[in-house]
Amino acid sequence: MSETGQSAFWGYEDLGLFLGAIIPSGLLGAVLVRALHINSTAARTLFFQCLLYAILLGALYLLIAVRYRRPFWTSLGWSRPRIGLLACVVGGPILAIATSIVGASLKAPEVKDPIRGLITTRSSLIVVLLFIVVLGPIFEELVFRGFLYPLLAKSFGAAAGIAFTALPFALLHGAQNQWAWQQIAMIGIAGAVFGYARYKTGSTAASTMLHCGFNLVGAVAYAVEWQKGTV
C-alpha cells in the first residue's frame, strides 16, 4: 500500500508532546469540573470528557497551527472525500452489524457498559447520544486517523499505519468493555476499517462519517433500552 492523502510534516517528538499533554489535560479538566459544582453524575462525567477532548484538541492545534504554522483542519485531512462518499455514509451501520456478528461468533461476553449508567433522564440521553454519535468520533478520528495514522504510514507504510493505529484505538476502549478480548478485537476491526477509509479517500472526514454511523447503531440501542426502561 502506498499512502494516499495528507502526508505528515510532524514527527515523533510532536507525538510525544501530545501524549505528554494527556495527564495534565485530565487534571485541568477535573479541576474545572470540580469548580463548577455539577451535581449530576452523568453531566459531570460527560462534561469532563468534553473538556478533556477540547483541551487535547487545543494542544493538537498548538502543534499544527502554532508550531508549524499550517492550517489545522486540512493538515489533519479534514476534507470532502474524493471517492466513496455514499459508502462512508451507509458503511458505518453495516460495519457495526458485521462486527456484532463477529462478536457473536467469538462468543463475546455481555459487558456492563458504564455509559448506560449515565442515562437517567431524557436530557441525559440526548447529551449521551450527542457525545457518542458526534463529539467522540470527531475527536478520536482527528487524533487517530488525522494525526497518528499519517505519521505511522510515513514511517512504515499505509498497511502498517492502519494496523498500528487500530491497536491503541481498540485499547482506548478496553476499560469500557471490561477488557474482554472479543470486544477489543471487534473495536480493532472497526478501527482498521476507519483507517482504510482514511487511506482510500485521503479524508479524515470519511473515517469520521464511518465512525459516526458505527456508533449510531449503539446509540439507537441505548435509546430503545431507555424507552423500554431497561437501561
Q: How far is the C-alpha of 230 from the C-alpha of 110, rounded, in Å? A: 15
Residue 25 has pLDDT above 90, yes or no: yes
Residue 119 has pLDDT above 50, yes or no: yes
- What DSSP designation does 174 have? T
pLDDT at 185: 93
- What DSSP designation does 67 have? I
* Predicted TM-score of the model (pTM): 0.91
Task: Please provide the distance, in angstroms rounded to a whole number, between the alpha carbons at the two ends of the chain.
Answer: 44
Q: How far is the C-alpha of 144 from the C-alpha of 153, rounded, in Å? A: 12
Domain assignment present for residue 2? The answer is no
> Angle of helix 41-61 relative to helix 122-130, nearest 10 degrees?
20
Domain assignment present for residue 187? The answer is yes
Q: How far is CA 198 from CA 115, 136, 208, in A?
A: 28, 17, 9
Mean pLDDT of the chain: 89
Q: How far is CA 127 from CA 76, 114, 124, 164, 189, in A?
A: 27, 15, 5, 31, 27
Number of neighbours of residue 195 by Cβ within 10 angstroms: 27
Domain assignment present for residue 194? The answer is yes
Domain assignment present for residue 91? The answer is yes
Residue 146 has pLDDT above 80, yes or no: yes
Domain that holds residue 202: 12-228
pLDDT at 221: 86
State mean pLDDT over 48-56. 93
pLDDT at 231: 57
State mean pLDDT over 94-99. 95
Domain assignment present for residue 138? The answer is yes
Q: How far is the C-alpha of 71 from the C-alpha of 78, rounded, in Å? A: 10
Cα 7 from chain centre: 21
Domain assignment present for residue 210? The answer is yes
Give how many domains the chain has, as a whole number: 1
